[in-house]
Amino acid sequence: MTAVPATAAAAANRHIGSIAIIGALFFIIGFFTWINGPLITFVKLAFDLDDVNAFLVLMVFYLSYFFLALPAASLLKLTGMKKGLALSLLVMAVGAAMFGQLATQRWYPGALAGLFVIGGGLALLQTAVNPYISILGPIESAAQRIALMGICNKVAGILAPLLIGTVVLHGIGDLSEQVAAADAAAKTQLLNDFAAKIHTPYLAMAGVLVLLAGAILFSSLPELKTSEANAERGGMGAVGKRSIFQFPHLWLGVLCLFVYVGVEVLAGDAIGTYGNGFGLPLDRTKMFTSFTLGAMLIGYLVGLVAIPRFISQERYLSVSAVLGVLFAIGAFLTHGYVSVGFVAALGFANAMMWPAIFPLAIKSLGRFTETGSALLIMGIAGGAIIPRLFVVLKQHYDFQLVFAAVAIPCYLYILYYALRGHRAGMK
């Protein structure tokens, strides 16, 4: 009589263990994604760049998702879950080592290549873990599980700017003034010494990633066929469908993730540049990304409690989109630290968007789940395009006006997807 409870307990432990492992991977995703905000500050000084060229950090990093997500999906079919996850961590380790070494040598194209490789590893990692956690339980409560993963992600996102800000960017305001006043030879030496500070942290990250890759291979993480599970839980949506193009809710979801990631990165990684527009001190603006991530963490905690107990993930997405519009308007109508506070508050509005959009977009895809997931991961390229649009346009127009003009239409489209777009083509 004790066999059944023992079996149930073992299954529960395996389930909790799987969630813990995926949570650790989401921590890694968050760390390497949200470190880009302070990296913009780093490369701007280390390589003596203007804002437009410094923002290539975001463009190169996020475009890697666009180019590599579909190949990542094909690779996962060959390797399986565990080997694919381990491989993704090894690819990221190579990229981290490249960035640390080549940034120290102050070769910007090489440093950007390292970021592209890191992004490629993350594309493989995200293509695997997002559908996995979405179908690890009922699709209707997927947003709740992804919210838990988001907490892991955003805790890492808060820590990453603090780590780089303390270890690498400490005293950057004074250093910037010294560089501006130095002659050519002294300036070169100051910048070489500053760039060298990034070397040890990134090599340490590479080493940790290699160790984690080995740990994944020997972990208890089970293989899971996402297409089969999604077919069972998604009903008959994929029956009779012969092409991925027969799922309009997916394609509208890809665009929704594109604009969502764009405004998420705009509020998170561009907030320091936004604060600089008011003339705020560099030693303070370097930490602003952590404020946005803190607001996102609060948003995830609220979503974790509320969904689906008190509100559906579709309705919560619409509420979040309305908040995004209101906070963007608030940022435009105010100035200084108050305006920056509204930009940081966008983190709260953004928090539950990915957890809601992703499961809504892959619902009922059946055997097309892997391809659909890869297309959604490609939508992360919005993080390359939309912040780039902001930094280019702000050279010609008021930066607050540009921020509002870029962000508000994105939130309005997310509102449309929450209300109607996610049901397009669904019977």
Where do runs of H (alpha helix) occur along 271-310?
271-276, 282-285, 288-306
Question: Are the CB atoms for 203 and 100 separated by under 8 Å?
Answer: yes
Task: Report how far apart, in Å, the C-alpha atoms of 145 and of each of 42, 134, 310 are.
Answer: 34, 7, 15
Query: Cα 301 to the chain's mean position, in Å?
Result: 18
- The reported pLDDT for the residue numbered 263 is 96
> Chain-wide mean pLDDT for the chain?
85
What is the predicted pLDDT for the residue at 2? 45
Picking from 69, 359, 92, 342, the residue whose alpha carbon sits closest to that of residue 211 is 92
Q: Is residue 363 within 8 Å of 237, Cβ to Cβ? A: yes
Of the candidates 351, 341, 267, which has an alpha carbon nearest to the alpha carbon of residue 302? Answer: 351
Q: Which of 162, 36, 34, 52 is nearest to 99 (CA)?
A: 36
- CATH code (residue 157): 1.20.1250.20
Quickly count helices (H) and strands (E) in the chain: 21, 0
Q: What is the mean pLDDT of each run of 10 residues along the chain (427 residues)?
A: 53 69 87 88 92 92 89 83 88 96 95 95 84 64 70 83 84 86 91 93 94 87 58 50 83 95 91 88 80 88 81 88 97 94 94 86 79 87 93 94 97 95 78
pLDDT at 295: 92
Q: What is the DSSP string of 333-355?
A: H--HHHHHHHHHHHHHHHTTHHH
Give the residue among 344, 321, 26 at the shortest CA–CA distance from 154: 26
Rounded CA-CA distance 58/205 in Å is 19
- Does this model's pTM top 0.75? My answer is yes
The tokens for 146 are 């992804």
pLDDT value, residue 232 = 47
Do 88 and 124 form a contact (C-beta atoms < 8 A)?
Answer: yes
Q: Report the chain's terminal Cα–Cα distance, integer Å.
A: 45
Q: Measure the CA–CA gap between 422 and 145, rounded to whole angstroms.
A: 19
φ/ψ of residue 307, rounded to 5: -105, 130
| Domain residue limits at 265 | 3-423
What pLDDT score does 224 carry? Answer: 59
What total number of domains does the chain contain? 1
Per-residue confidence (pLDDT) for residue 363, from 0 to 100: 81
pLDDT given for residue 396 in this prediction: 93
Q: What is the pLDDT of residue 142?
A: 63
Here the tokens at position 295 are 């607001």
How is residue 368 annotated by DSSP? G
